[in-house]
């Protein structure tokens, strides 16, 4: 199943960057990387023995999902019976959003690190375990910084309980030291580029410029205008609504959300006093990331929402266990529990299982290692071709909408590729072949199109694999192919 899952655009970028690491290059120093850097090293280690294996690039995500489900079970055991804990793990494993966790993207590794960290800092009492949890929070942020919200939730929960405040102080100190050492090391290895990137990303979020950049892409900008979305917050609300309130589409989370909502109400009711020591933590575990995803991160994409799955699964199981034991109408209640579990789990498995691509449709080169300009690094990987003109991350390095176009810092600008440079590259190297699939429509403007229209037909590669943006987070567009 793993090698045939529909791909995500970011997968191709991460895979190509991991291959650069395997070739001895380093992020920030030798190629532009816009996030914290642990993931390409993990991918490189996983696929080192077989760098052309899609399975090996996706394997770390599969293992992370498996381990995270065990952690969900372990946390649930602190709140309910063994059967309820197994049910919580089942609901976690079968959520439709697990599709994103199975791709070669950092979400699953971020999530398992943050979940393990929360378990250690909250449920463990030994200082060594709390320290390990703090370091795991640092590791999760080095995979993907959105885990900051989970770390903050754990910190607020510890501060809420007076007897746990010493654990908070210890965890904060250890985590700060760990992140500080990592920062110093990365800054030294990158010759200052890492600190520049942190400043850039911080400024981008403070100014809300990420949403404005996204709006400049014709396909998604047209959709934003058509829907009347005027701000990043409004976009983020709509993204959440598409997931939480949906009973159809590729990632419908409404059934699990409804059960988790019922569990949250139960948790805060007088009946929930039995979990007095845990209910603040369980509530903050999803509430703080939700607030961050709406009001801080911008723009938000649906694969960010995997961080809700552990608390949602536990809350849903909490409600179903309570419903199973209600004294009145027990038979009807138990039938409802069985129906709900079957509905959520079968639906989730089905939604992931049907998301398949036939990668045999991707054309292959006559000679291994040919340069193809596809604006889609994943298809370069599948076809066994080199990204034409070295363009493996067009969203972040190509054109005036990219991150490397912001400001004039040499740590970024040296990786920037503008339209004139790309046109010159295409014109100067007749061996570069062109493939115009879905993603080309995001980057091919009129001057570039004019050049492409004048190229001979034999320089074009027919793109037969239709791309469907995962989760509908980007508007669908017909594949555009030349000849």
DSSP states along 68-112: HHHHHHHHHHTTS-HHHHHHHHHHHHT-TTHHHHTSSSTHHHHHH
Would you say residue 469 has pLDDT above 80?
no
Q: Quote the number of domains for the chain.
A: 2
Do 451 and 374 share a structural domain? Answer: yes
Do 269 and 126 share a structural domain? Answer: yes
Query: Mean pLDDT across the stretch 285-289?
Result: 96
d(CA 122, CA 74): 12
How does residue 482 score in pLDDT terms, banded at 50, 70 and 90?
very low
pLDDT value at residue 477: 35
d(CA 275, CA 101): 30
Q: Residue 454 in contact with residue 446, Cβ under 8 Å?
A: no
Higher pLDDT pick, 215 / 41: 41
Query: Mean pLDDT across the stretch 458-470?
Result: 71
Instruction: Look at residue 23 and tell me if it is in a domain.
Output: yes
pLDDT value at residue 155: 93
Domain finish residue from 353, 372, 391: 353
pLDDT value at residue 400: 85
Query: Mean pLDDT across the stretch 257-264?
Result: 94
Higher pLDDT pick, 278 / 474: 278
d(CA 286, CA 289): 6
Higher pLDDT pick, 348 / 248: 348
Contacts of 225 (CB under 8 A, 6+ apart): none
d(CA 78, CA 98): 24
DSSP 367: S
d(CA 6, CA 12): 12
Instruction: Look at residue 480 and tell me if it is in a domain.
Output: no
3-state secondary structure of 356: strand
Do 287 and 383 share a structural domain? Answer: no
Instruction: Look at residue 440 and tell me if it is in a domain.
Output: yes
Most confident of 249-253, 310-314, 335-339: 310-314
**Inter-helix orientation angle 148-160/127-143, to 10°:** 150
d(CA 260, CA 319): 7
pLDDT value at residue 479: 34
How does residue 478 score in pLDDT terms, banded at 50, 70 and 90?
very low
Domain finish residue from 299, 327, 353: 353
Higher pLDDT pick, 409 / 177: 177
Do 348 and 209 share a structural domain? Answer: yes
pLDDT value at residue 376: 92
How does residue 330 score in pLDDT terms, banded at 50, 70 and 90?
confident
The proportion of the chain whose per-residue pLDDT surpasses 90, expressed as a percent, equals 53
DSSP 143: H
- CA dist 403 to 148, 209, 222, 258, Å? 22, 10, 21, 38
Do 373 and 285 share a structural domain? Answer: no
d(CA 237, CA 271): 31
pLDDT tens digits for 384-393? Answer: 999 999 999 9
pLDDT tens digits for 386-417? Answer: 999 999 999 999 988 888 888 777 778 889 99
Instruction: Look at residue 482 and tell me if it is in a domain.
Output: no
DSSP 247: S
Instruction: Look at residue 478 and tell me if it is in a domain.
Output: no
Would you say residue 471 has pLDDT above 70?
no
What is the span of the domain harbouring residue 437? Answer: 359-472
Do 370 and 334 share a structural domain? Answer: no
Q: Residue 384 in contact with residue 365, Cβ under 8 Å?
A: yes
Q: Which of 273, 267, 277 lies closest to 316 in space, CA to CA?
A: 267
Most distant CA atoms of the chain, gap in Å: 79
Would you say residue 472 has pLDDT above 70?
no
- Give the phi and the psi of residue 460 in degrees, each rounded to 5: -105, 145
Higher pLDDT pick, 146 / 218: 146
pTM as predicted: 0.91
Do 376 and 437 share a structural domain? Answer: yes
Locate 289 and state its tokens: 């990331």
Instruction: Look at residue 481 and tell me if it is in a domain.
Output: no
Domain finish residue from 353, 368, 391: 353
Q: Determine which helix (DSSP H) or strand (DSSP E) holds 201, and give its type and residue range.
A: helix 193-207
Mean pLDDT of the chain: 88
DSSP states along 376-394: -HHHHHHHT-EEGGG-S-H
**β-strand 386-387 against 371-373: which pairing, if any?**
parallel
First to last CA, the chain: 32
Would you say residue 473 has pLDDT above 80?
no
Do 368 and 316 share a structural domain? Answer: no
Do 377 and 340 share a structural domain? Answer: no
Do 125 and 100 share a structural domain? Answer: yes
Query: Mean pLDDT across the stretch 426-448?
Result: 88
Do 336 and 293 share a structural domain? Answer: yes
Instruction: Look at residue 201 and tell me if it is in a domain.
Output: yes
Locate 471 and state its tokens: 């989760």
d(CA 211, CA 192): 27
Residue 201: burial class (beta carbons within 10 Å; 0-12, 13-18, 19+): middle
Do 88 and 209 share a structural domain? Answer: yes
Instruction: Look at residue 334 and tell me if it is in a domain.
Output: yes
């Amino acid at each position: 199943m793993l090698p045939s899952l529909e791909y995500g655009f970011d997968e191709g970028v991460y895979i190509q960057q991991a291959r650069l690491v395997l070739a001895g290059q380093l992020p920030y120093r030798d190629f532009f990387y816009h996030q914290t850097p642990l993931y390409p090293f993990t991918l490189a280690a996983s696929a080192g023995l077989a760098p052309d294996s899609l399975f090996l690039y996706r394997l770390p995500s599969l293992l992370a999902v498996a381990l995270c489900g065990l952690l969900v079970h372990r946390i649930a055991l602190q709140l309910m019976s063994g059967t309820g804990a197994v049910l919580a793990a089942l609901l976690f494993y079968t959520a439709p959003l697990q599709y994103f966790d199975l791709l070669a993207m950092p979400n699953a590794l971020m999530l398992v690190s943050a979940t393990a960290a929360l378990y250690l800092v909250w449920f463990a009492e030994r200082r060594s375990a709390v320290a390990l949890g703090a370091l795991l929070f640092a590791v999760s942020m080095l995979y993907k910084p959105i885990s900051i919200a989970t770390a903050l939730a754990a910190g607020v929960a510890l501060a809420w309980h007076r007897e746990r405040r010493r654990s908070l102080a210890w965890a904060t100190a250890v985590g700060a030291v760990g992140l500080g050492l990592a920062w110093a090391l990365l800054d030294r290895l990158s010759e200052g580029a890492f600190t520049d990137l942190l400043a850039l990303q911080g400024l981008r979020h403070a100014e809300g410029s990420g949403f404005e950049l996204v709006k400049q892409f014709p396909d998604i900008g047209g959709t934003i205008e058509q829907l009347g979305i005027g701000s990043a917050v409004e976009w983020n609300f709509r993204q959440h609504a598409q997931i939480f309130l949906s009973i159809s589409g590729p990632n419908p989370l409404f059934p699990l959300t409804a059960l988790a909502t019922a569990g949250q109400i139960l948790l805060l009711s007088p009946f929930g006093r039995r979990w007095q020591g845990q209910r603040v933590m369980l509530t903050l575990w999803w509430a703080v990331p939700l607030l961050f995803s709406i009001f801080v991160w911008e723009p938000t994409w649906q694969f960010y929402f995997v961080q809700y799955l552990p608390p949602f699964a536990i809350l849903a199981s909490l409600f179903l266990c309570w419903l199973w034991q209600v004294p009145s109408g027990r038979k009807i209640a138990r039938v409802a529990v069985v129906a709900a579990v079957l509905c959520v789990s079968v639906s989730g498995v089905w939604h992931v299982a049907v998301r398949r691509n036939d990668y045999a449709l991707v054309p292959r080169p006559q000679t291994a290692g040919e340069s193809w300009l596809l604006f889609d690094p994943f298809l370069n990987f599948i076809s066994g071709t080199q990204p034409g003109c070295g363009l493996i991350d067009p969203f972040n390095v190509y054109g005036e909408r990219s991150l490397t176009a912001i400001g004039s810092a040499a740590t970024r600008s040296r990786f920037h590729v503008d339209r004139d440079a790309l046109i010159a590259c295409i014109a100067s190297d007749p061996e570069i072949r062109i493939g115009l699939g879905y993603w080309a429509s995001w980057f091919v403007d009129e001057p570039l199109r004019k050049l492409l229209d004048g190229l001979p037909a034999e320089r074009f590669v027919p793109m037969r694999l239709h791309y469907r943006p995962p989760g509908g987070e980007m508007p669908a567009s017909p594949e555009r192919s030349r000849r």
